[in-house]
Amino acid sequence: MQINLSQKERMILEDGKHQEDVCVKKYQSFANQAKDPNLKQLLNKLASEEQHHYNIINELLQGKKPNLTHSDQSMSNDQTPAIFTANNMSFNNPEDALLCSDLLATEKYVSGFYDIGVFESANKEVREALQHIQKEEQRHGEELFNYMHTHGMYNVK
């Protein structure tokens, strides 16, 4: 089935593709800079998921119905918090905190971008794909928040 995109949808998807490319590179770079091995693992996992988002958008731009299933899930959502609590507070350094803060701000921005994109898209397949990506971006933010909170980098009062 060929998906026909409006000019507006194409523009939104091109912007989203650029954002996902930046996210992939940022997560990969920050994973290499992270001191905590658990944070490295989390950031590499999220980089893989951002690459999947990039691929979804690329498929849409090619007029194809995208595969929303990510096959390379090396760690389920249920496993993530256990890793963080196992070494609770063992790695609380300012460099990792800065990396996490930057990535959390990025996820907030990208999630908002997709929120607008959903409302600006007339095509059902585009809306569903953007909603799927937005939900995952919000989960990424939650995973970063949980890591930060567990390691004393984000205090909730």
- How sure is the predictor about 154, in pLDDT bands with cuts at 50, 70 and 90? confident
- How sure is the predictor about 71, in pLDDT bands with cuts at 50, 70 and 90? confident
What pLDDT does 155 receive?
Answer: 84
* Extents of the domains making up the chain: 7-63+75-150
Q: What is the average per-residue pLDDT within 120-131?
A: 96
**Alpha helices in the chain, H assignment, sequence order:** 7-33, 37-61, 80-86, 94-120, 124-150
Reported as a single tens digit per residue, the pLDDT across 86-114 is 444 455 689 999 999 999 999 999 999 99
Q: What is the average per-residue pLDDT within 117-128?
A: 96
Contacts of 111 (CB under 8 A, 6+ apart): 134, 137, 138, 141
- Can you give the pTM of this predicted structure? 0.87
Side-chain half-sphere of 146: how many Cα atoms within 13 Å?
A: 17
What pLDDT does 91 receive?
Answer: 56
- How sure is the predictor about 72, in pLDDT bands with cuts at 50, 70 and 90? low
Q: What is the average per-residue pLDDT within 124-144?
A: 97
Q: Which residue has the tokens 């007339």?
A: 122
Q: Report residue 138 as tokens.
A: 């919000």
Task: Give φ, ψ of 44 to 5 degrees.
Answer: -65, -40
Q: Taking each helix axis from N to C terminus, what angle separates 124-150 and 94-120, rounded to the nearest 10 degrees? A: 160
State the CATH class of domain 7-63+75-150: mainly alpha
Distance CA(65)–CA(128), nearest Å, equals 10
Q: Report residue 7 as tokens.
A: 């000019």
- How sure is the predictor about 81, in pLDDT bands with cuts at 50, 70 and 90? very low
Across all residues in the chain, what is the average pLDDT? 89
Distance CA(127)–CA(104), nearest Å, equals 24
